[in-house]
Structure 1
Amino acid sequence: MVETIYGCKWSLTVYQLLANGINRPGEMVRNVEGLTTKVLNSCLKKNAEFGIIERIVYNELPPRVEYKVTDFGTKFIRILDEIERLQDEIDNEAALSANKT
């Protein structure tokens, strides 16, 4: 699961958008250069299947769909943040070691 989500370069971007209150797919595509509707939909679907985000469909015309991070997703994103911090520490230590030689 972590590999699948972390392997999709857009997942982290989607989490950031949701954290910033951008929760509609059209808004997401407009806010991120290079992100296509097709790729976004695939990313959202994977994240929803894993229970990280929830798809909310409103019974309106025209149809409105929004996404939000689930309680599980909040915990999962915290773990990803910690992994990213750990990677930064590893990279910094490697750079320091390289500079000493």
Structure 2
Amino acid sequence: MYERKTLPELNCGLDLVGEVLYGKWKMRLLWFIHEGFQRPSELQRKIPGASRRVLNVQLKELESHELVGKVIYPVVPPKVEYYLTDFGKSLIPVIDAIGQWGDQHDDHLRTLILKNTKP
């Protein structure tokens, strides 16, 4: 697993949030777990653009930051379910607000992103 070689800059709240939420799929993972999609295969179906390995890495990071917890059922094959911790639940209003902002500025953001994307 990746091991950080330098200490992160933790000078303000934005630095702290960036360290916890940095990762392309983390906010989506938190949102989908909040919506009730808890099994890794369900999360994979909700985020088809992400590889299983990347999702597993980001779920582990969310778990290490105590935003999600994991239950492993003793069955064959193993069954795993993720859930939001109380700490993770406290982020849902923030993620919801970011999503609403994106929806309000959908056309403008889409135009900017597509303009800066090379085919």
TM range (shorter): 0.7 to 0.9
Q: In 1, Cα distance between the equivalents of 2:83 and 2:48?
A: 21
In 1, Cα distance between equivalents of 2:95 and 2:44:
23
Q: Which residue of 1 is the match for residue 62 of structure 2?
A: 47
Determine what percentage of the aligned residue pairs are the same residue.
Answer: 30
Question: Between Structure 1 and Structure 2, how many residues are aligned?
Answer: 90
Matched, 1:28 2:43: yes
Q: Which runs of 5+ in 1 are unaligned?
A: 96-101
- Does the 8 Å CA contact 2:73/2:80 hold for their aligned counterparts? yes
1:18 aligns with 2:36: no
Q: Indicate if the aligned counterparts of 2:31 and 2:92 stay in contact, CA closer than 8 A.
A: no
Please say if residues 68 and 85 of structure 2, whose CA atoms lie closer than 8 Å, have aligned partners that are also in contact: yes
In structure 2, stretches of 5+ residues that fail to align are 1-15, 109-119
Rounded to whole Å, the distance in 2 between the matches of 1:10 and 1:73 is 15
Structure 1, residues 3-49: CA drift from partner, whole Å, max 9, x if none?
12332120111112112211011121122220111110011001000
- 1:99: which partner in 2? none
In structure 1, the partner of 2:75 is: 60
Shift of 1:69: 0.1
2:90 alignment partner in structure 1 = 75
Q: 37, 47, 52: which is aligned to 2:52? A: 37
Greater per-residue helix proportion = 1
Structure 2: distance between partners of 1:38 and 1:7: 17
Query: How many Å apart are 1:79 and its aligned residue?
Result: 3.9
State the partner residue of 1:98: none
Alpha-carbon distance, 1:80 to partner: 4.4
Deviation at 1:77, TM superposition (A): 3.1
